[in-house]
Amino acid sequence: MAKGHRTQIKRERNANRDARPSAKLSYARVSVQKACFVLDAIRGKDVATALAILEYNPRYASGVIKKLLQSAIANAENNYPDKNYKQENLYVAECYANKGPTMKRIHPRAQGRAYRIEKRMSHITIVLDER
């Protein structure tokens, strides 16, 4: 159990918080494996190049990740007035997908059998930084 008053604990936790602009999408209806194919393509790229890659990538996850990246860019420009981030200087510092819950569905098969279909979800995070 942590020592100290509740507000002191929160103050210490917020002091250690990552100050880089980011965006997170929880419960995205795309599997982690499929999202990671797209995330690997944009990791380390500047945001203009990353948006261009996502625009012409044929995968379903690229549309979801493109909206998330645009949200992270807007967060950087609007939520950090003291840092004064410019879109030209931003790049994708981190991007990852974590496993979310799985919806289990039943698909009827021949002779009264049932096959399970797993509809996977993921939590996708994009963290930007300035060069």
* Tens digits of residue pLDDT in 40-89: 999 999 999 999 999 999 999 999 999 999 999 999 999 888 888 889 99
- State pTM to two decimals: 0.84
Confidence (pLDDT) at 10: 83
Q: Exposure string (b/e) for 35-74, b if CB count within 10 Å is 16 or more? A: bbebbebbbeebbeebbebbeebeeebbebbbebbebbbe
Half-sphere exposure for 64 (CA within 13 Å, toward CB): 24
Confidence (pLDDT) at 67: 96
What residue spans define the domains of the chain? 19-130
* Per-residue tokens: 68: 């998330």
Confidence of residue 9 (pLDDT cuts 50, 70, 90): confident
Residue 97: beta bridge partners? 124
Confidence of residue 2 (pLDDT cuts 50, 70, 90): low
Q: Could you tell me which CATH number the domain at 19-130 has?
A: 3.90.470.10
